[in-house]
Structure 1
Amino acid sequence: MTKIPRGTIAIEEAVLNPDGISWMAESATLFNTGADPKKASSHGHTPQLLDIHESRLAKMDAHSVEYMLLSLTSPGAQGEPNREKARKLAADANDWLAAEVAKNPARFGAFAAVSMHNAEDAVFEAQRAVKQLGMFGIMLNDYQVVGEGGDAEGKKYYDAAEFDPFWKAVEELGVPVYLHPRYPQTKDLERGTRYGDRKQILGAAVQFHLDLSMHIYAICSSGVFDRYPGVQVVCGHLGEGIPFNLWRADHWYNKPVKKATRPSKEDYSYYFTHNVSITTSGNFNTAGLKFCIDQIGAERCLYSIDYPYDTIEEAQDWWKGVDLPADQKEAIGRGNAIKLFKLPLEL
């Protein structure tokens, strides 16, 4: 076997199984708000999402990406309001992705998709994916949509007590959970809603981090990490903006009036230095990365691209020019990911 040259390890890299083309097309007009809904039969990135072993791998080789952790693109099972359909969507995607990774395990690993309609379904699929399919983590695309039709559609967030069995299972499995953004559900895009009248802010630049950061704050402050201190969570895009607000968040969270009633024992900075890691996915900001290192430590920062929504070329060109101490650059670029995800790669 040819030895793969050392390079970066990228861990927020999206794929789509052929069965997912129809549900992926539903977000085509959200990605491109100027598109004609009647003509948007597929998402603009569908060809790149479907490809793993051809163009993607060739670009990895050309630009020194050693390894990718692949995950079903957002929203996946989190976008399916029907419980049985969500379970099947996750299971089918995991079977497909495990088979694809098996074709080239030296270059690819995978996150598990799970339905979060309830903890029982999530635990079952997480255990199956990790123990039987050999997946290295779990990918959750923000909140789970539940119920079908109009006002019946609701959301489930994972700071709720009903998900304690899920977090307990995650701790026992010893794999990280990646919290990833998603587009709003249909009813939140109607006229008169905050996004329905402002579709220009949908997506990666603004809406993604606004929505997901709330969920991350909620999980950190819920006491989940006190009950299950071994749980490790990862969030992309330089932590969805949270590291830049940690001082102020802690400043208020630690005031006596808050401290007396808050559900968690510790403040946000504590969990961001013990239970949360961040990645550079789609946020190639050198000054921002250095600030995050100062706030939470280099050991809590990991490299990532966000392919195909951002390009391998742009990410790698940026990373090659980042002026960090050699030990930090090696750790962020590959070492931290190997340790956190227990990847079968040499340090």
Structure 2
Amino acid sequence: MAIPKGTIAVEEAVVNPNDLDFLADVASMYAPGATSPAPGTGDSAHHALAQKLADIHDERLRKMNAEGVEYMLLSVTAPGCQGVVDPVRAQALATKSNDWLASEVGRNPARFGGLAALSMHSGAEAAAELRRAVKELGMFGALLNNYQCTGADGRGKTFFDTPEYHVFWETVQQLGVPVYMHPSYPTRGDLASPESQYGPRKHLLGAAVQFHLDLSFHLYALISSGIFDRYPRVQVVAGHLGEGIPFNLWRANHWYNKPVKREARPSVEDYGYYFKHNISVTTSGFYSTQGLKFCVNEIGVDRCIFSIDYPYDKIEEAQDWWKTVDLPEKEKVAVARENAIRLFKLPLEI
């Protein structure tokens, strides 16, 4: 029986129930002060959030059917490989995670697809694993959880706008798949540092504030680095309506285009140009009709994609909101499903 056309959600988290160790470092940040064990600590496999992350084919699929979600792109939850400071362990986690996710997607490819997890300790190794994930495992791109944490104390941060990662971005362009840039919590080592701005302000951690502040810096760095000039077909996706950047684009362009900046900037074009040619944004965890309309007007409807952010947000809440969005029908269908199909080259009919 044909699956009814509905929404396509592209930032939907999962975890291998047999591989929860990488969550231990950030577990307490999910719910500061909570008495029950968070993912990665204690009896984590039985924690409610861990169970929702591990579930793909039962409650998740039932809710998709009940609420009109046609298809989900799945990715291993943050921090994933980006939170693992040991390069060998991070690479092993990427390989294991991708093999597991490809196997799960293979059980129901009509409803699910996968985004690869990658260790970014080495641009060359990341490129090789991405190629394997796409060519051999059938994945539709990759999801990176902000910067790569490094160093014995976890305080090192490696960003992906440097020449070391040109081989990675070149491979992304060759494969023709998007890279989803996703936020993550700081490591415990980072929070314990006297220099950490979040150490005494842990209430700022997470999706409300810290996520978009930290990831928007990385996105600005990527956009202005010249990577999109060198590899103009690379496509990057940013959730949560672009981590606040679309709302700052006018000012960012205004100052970036001043002569004193233009003379020394690494990129040929300004931030707005790349947002209209190389960046797409999703509605994951950001169910604001006014915000979505602003993004449609600012960067174009073709650059806006529906998403949920399950299980951190509810399928029902996202779908209830989506039913109220009063975009013109053609634009609404584009955001709901068609843009995702085109960008990720999903095996679905337009």
* Distance in 2 between residues matched to 1:81 and 1:36, nearest whole Å: 28
TM-score relative to the length of structure 2: 0.96
- Say if 1:211 and 1:180 are closer, same or farther in 2 by CA, change over 3 A: same
Please tell me whether the aligned partners of residues 234 and 278 of structure 1 are also in contact (alpha carbons under 8 angstroms).
yes
Q: Residue type matched to 1:5 in 2? A: P
Q: Residue type matched to 2:172 in 1? A: V
* Distance in 1 between residues matched to 2:338 and 2:348, nearest whole Å: 9
Moved more, 60-69 or 30-39: 30-39
Deviations 1:141-180 (A, max 9, x none): 0000122236xx4111000111000000000000000000
Mark the runs of 5 or more structure 1 residues left unpaired by the alignment: none
Matched, 1:46 2:50: yes
Matched, 1:235 2:235: no
* Distance in 1 between residues matched to 2:333 and 2:159, nearest whole Å: 35
Matched, 1:31 2:35: no
Q: Residue type matched to 2:186 in 1? A: P
Moved more, 26-35 or 202-211: 26-35
Residue number in structure 2 paired with 1:97: 101
- The alpha carbon displacement at 1:36 in A equals 5.0
- Say if 1:53 and 1:138 are closer, same or farther in 2 by CA, change over 3 A: same
Deviations 1:100-143 (A, max 9, x none): 00000000000001100011110110000000000001110000
Residue number in structure 2 paired with 1:167: 169
Matched, 1:296 2:295: no
Q: Residue type matched to 1:116 in 2? A: M
For the residue of structure 2 that corresponds to 1:277, the secondary structure is: strand
* Distance in 2 between residues matched to 1:53 and 1:118, nearest whole Å: 34
Residue number in structure 2 paired with 1:181: 183
Matched, 1:138 2:163: no
Please tell me whether the aligned partners of residues 81 and 117 of structure 2 are also in contact (alpha carbons under 8 angstroms).
yes
Moved more, 139-148 or 306-315: 139-148
* Distance in 1 between residues matched to 2:179 and 2:57, nearest whole Å: 25
Moved more, 25-34 or 172-181: 25-34
For the residue of structure 2 that corresponds to 1:52, the secondary structure is: coil
Which of 79, 84, 88 does residue 84 from structure 1 map onto?
A: 88
Please tell me whether the aligned partners of residues 29 and 37 of structure 1 are also in contact (alpha carbons under 8 angstroms).
no
- The alpha carbon displacement at 1:33 in A equals 1.0
Matched, 1:256 2:259: yes
- The alpha carbon displacement at 1:52 in A equals 0.1
Which of 98, 107, 113 does residue 109 from structure 1 map onto?
A: 113
Mark the runs of 5 or more structure 2 residues left unpaired by the alignment: none
* Distance in 2 between residues matched to 1:201 and 1:230, nearest whole Å: 36
For the residue of structure 1 that corresponds to 2:186, the secondary structure is: coil
Residue number in structure 2 paired with 1:68: 72
Please tell me whether the aligned partners of residues 280 and 305 of structure 1 are also in contact (alpha carbons under 8 angstroms).
yes
Residue number in structure 2 paired with 1:127: 131
* Distance in 1 between residues matched to 2:48 and 2:123, nearest whole Å: 34
Which of 243, 247, 261 does residue 250 from structure 2 map onto?
A: 247
Residue number in structure 2 paired with 1:341: 344
Q: Residue type matched to 2:50 in 1? A: T
Moved more, 88-97 or 26-35: 26-35
Deviations 1:285-312 (A, max 9, x none): 0000000001000000000000000000
Deviations 1:305-342 (A, max 9, x none): 00000000000000011000000000000000000000
Residue number in structure 2 paired with 1:158: 160
Please tell me whether the aligned partners of residues 114 and 140 of structure 2 are also in contact (alpha carbons under 8 angstroms).
yes
The root-mean-square deviation of aligned C-alpha atoms, in Å, is 1.3
Please tell me whether the aligned partners of residues 191 and 197 of structure 1 are also in contact (alpha carbons under 8 angstroms).
no
* Distance in 2 between residues matched to 1:176 and 1:218, nearest whole Å: 18
TM-score relative to the length of structure 1: 0.97
Please tell me whether the aligned partners of residues 119 and 126 of structure 2 are also in contact (alpha carbons under 8 angstroms).
yes
Which of 192, 206, 215 does residue 190 from structure 1 map onto?
A: 192
* Distance in 1 between residues matched to 2:2 and 2:317, nearest whole Å: 25
Moved more, 141-150 or 125-134: 141-150
Please tell me whether the aligned partners of residues 146 and 184 of structure 2 are also in contact (alpha carbons under 8 angstroms).
yes
- Say if 1:161 and 1:191 are closer, same or farther in 2 by CA, change over 3 A: closer
Q: Which runs of 4+ in 1 moved over 3 A?
A: 36-40
Q: How many residues are treated as equivalent by the alignment? A: 344
Which of 205, 216, 220 does residue 217 from structure 1 map onto?
A: 220
* Distance in 2 between residues matched to 1:181 and 1:20, nearest whole Å: 21
Moved more, 184-193 or 308-317: 184-193
Please tell me whether the aligned partners of residues 215 and 243 of structure 2 are also in contact (alpha carbons under 8 angstroms).
yes
Residue number in structure 2 paired with 1:331: 334
* Distance in 2 between residues matched to 1:26 and 1:260, nearest whole Å: 43
- The alpha carbon displacement at 1:191 in A equals 6.4
Percent pairwise identity = 60
For the residue of structure 2 that corresponds to 1:26, the secondary structure is: helix
* Distance in 2 between residues matched to 1:319 and 1:345, nearest whole Å: 21
Please tell me whether the aligned partners of residues 22 and 79 of structure 2 are also in contact (alpha carbons under 8 angstroms).
no
